[in-house]
Amino acid sequence: DDNGGWVELREPDLDVEEPSGPQPVVAVVGRPNVGKSTLVNRIIGRRQAVVEDIPGVTRDRVPYDAQWNGRSFTVVDTGGWEPDARDRAAAIAAQAEIAVATADVVLFVVDAMVGSTDVDEAAVKMLRRSAKPVILVANKTDNTAIEMEATSLWSLGLGEPYPVSALHGRGSGELLDAIMDALPEAPKIVENRPRGPRRVALVGRPNVGKSSLLNRFSGEERAVVDSVAGTTVDPVDSLVQIGGETWQLVDTAGLRKRVGKASGTEYYASLRTASAIEAAEVAVVLLDSSEVISEQDQRILSMVVEAGRALVIAFNKWDLVDADRRYYLDKEIDRELRRIPWAIRLNLSAQTGRAVDKLAPALRKALASWETRVPTAQLNQWLTALVQATPHPVRGGRAPKILFATQAGVAPPRFVLFTTAPLDAGYQRFVERKLREEFGFEGSPVEISVRPRK
């Protein structure tokens, strides 16, 4: 039939998040044996885990991280066959369709030694229906004689064929330049953060002990300021030494001058808290352990989560906690902090100094989680095993499939799941929970967005 194996897809739900700047995706499609895997290896420039060697992982839609001229992108090898396909052309078309749906740019690989075949033409038909850019790769162009032959591939109607020898590397630089030109704006590889001390927000409602904790660290302050002379630090910030390292505590002027208490409507204080969190990389939210976790505490915690900052919760005034209070506090924590089980928690006392030395290691750990990057191959090996063991529940006779995932960014870690249809919220939470079990991220929020193929 005229539809050629095209799969009708449901409209994506409207509440699906748009991923915030994922790496662009380049899909490699073509008949078997035209050299797709060889080309992918050439593009990634090194031997990553050879997928065929990983038990239980098919070669279908396996993504790899790649870089060229300072830009990073994801290459997806689509080298497999749909095992239940009726015929070759339909199988290729279906494969091309998936590639088109998930990719920003498609590399269509043909064998220049063979020339174009019926199967190639069936795939081209499908590719041309999409608005996605397609780059025609005339692979196995090992020498100039074949290069002459390769020009006949203009007849496929995909524009200029790029003569490449994936095996020997011939023409691969020109191909990569063409890919870069076709890609949408991509994030640069180096996510440079400004040099200098890590920025920390010390926040919490009035009287939880922020000034007291700050004073604990402020003994050596003058020396610290001198040692980082030349660094531009906002005059409202403090540079303090915690655990042998200099940290920049954001907007602590109020804590020093005690204006927070004198002036300060709650509205003003909350604006100031929000802007400190925004300016920081990691927030320490102080709670008063001797009092019930309040709505105001919750609001401050939400600000940190919504801003996507790393989070350490310091239960201050621990010296006031007796067995009785401990019992109720544990219950409050279960109830009130259930949505942020990943936050790092410390029980300390600014007054006695108890566990104050644990703060620096907690900050470092939260920041390390916040900046974690999971290699794409590792991410997808894990994901493949996960969805095999626990597939998405069937809804109305069909279950959305996760095709693959990439990490779109760090600080905080952001992941994009490429799927056949929107996922149930419950299943998405399950994936996040398992992701955390596998890769940690203690002390950091993690964002997962879903990109159903269109």
Quote the distance between the C-alpha of residue 374 and its chain's center.
8
**Nearer CB in complex with ligand GDP: 217/427:** 217
Query: Starting from the edge strand earliest in sequence, which strands make up the sheet with 198-203, in order?
Result: 238-242, 245-250, 198-203, 282-288, 310-316, 344-347
Contact 304, 285 (CB under 8 A): yes
Q: How far is the CB of 424 from ligand GDP (least distance, A)?
A: 34
- Judge contact between 138 and 153, C-beta under 8 A: yes
Buried-exposed string 140-154: b where 16+ CB fall within 10 A, e elsewhere: bbbeeebbeebeebe
Q: Contact letters (x/-) for ligand GDP, 59-88, by CB under 6 A?
A: --------------------x---------
Region near ligand GDP per CB under 6 A, out of 29-37, 222-230, 327-335, 375-383 = 29-37
Q: Which stretch binds ligand GDP (CB under 6 A): 25-33, 331-339, 392-400, 408-416?
A: 25-33
By CB under 6 A, is residue 350 in contact with ligand GDP?
Answer: yes
Q: How far is the CB of 168 from ligand GDP (least distance, A)?
A: 6
Q: Which residue has the tokens 């064929």?
A: 161
Q: Does 140 bind ligand GDP (CB under 6 A)?
A: yes
Identified binder of ligand GDP from the candidate list 130, 212, 231, 381, rule CB under 6 A = 212
Strands 71-77 and 25-29: parallel
CB 195 within 8 A of CB 277: no
**Of 23, 102, 165, 420, the one binding ligand GDP by CB under 6 A:** 165
Measured in degrees and rounded to the nearest 5, phi and psi for residue 23 equal -60, 140
> Measured between alpha carbons, how far is 104 from 165 in angstroms, rounded to an integer?
23
Nearer to ligand GDP, 216 or 392 (CB): 216
Say how far apart CA 180 and CA 133 lie, in whole Å. 12
Q: Does 453 bind ligand GDP (CB under 6 A)?
A: no
Of 289, 275, 6, 301, give the one whose Cα is nearest residue 130.
6
Query: For the window 295-324, what string marks contact with ligand GDP as x by the rule CB under 6 A?
Result: ---------------------xx-xx----
| Residue 254 binds ligand GDP (CB under 6 A) | no
Contact (Cβ atoms closer than 8 angstroms) between residue 67 and residue 187 = no
The reply on whether position 161 binds ligand GDP by CB under 6 A is: no
C-alpha angle 303-309-315 in degrees, rounded to nearest 5: 70
Q: Which stretch binds ligand GDP (CB under 6 A): 11-19, 31-39, 275-283, 365-373?
A: 31-39
Q: Which stretch binds ligand GDP (CB under 6 A): 119-127, 164-172, 189-197, 401-409?
A: 164-172
Nearer to ligand GDP, 35 or 422 (CB): 35
CB of 91 within 8 A of CB of 126? no
Binding site for ligand GDP (CB under 6 A): 30, 32-38, 79, 139-140, 142, 165-167, 204, 206-212, 255, 316-317, 319-320, 349-351
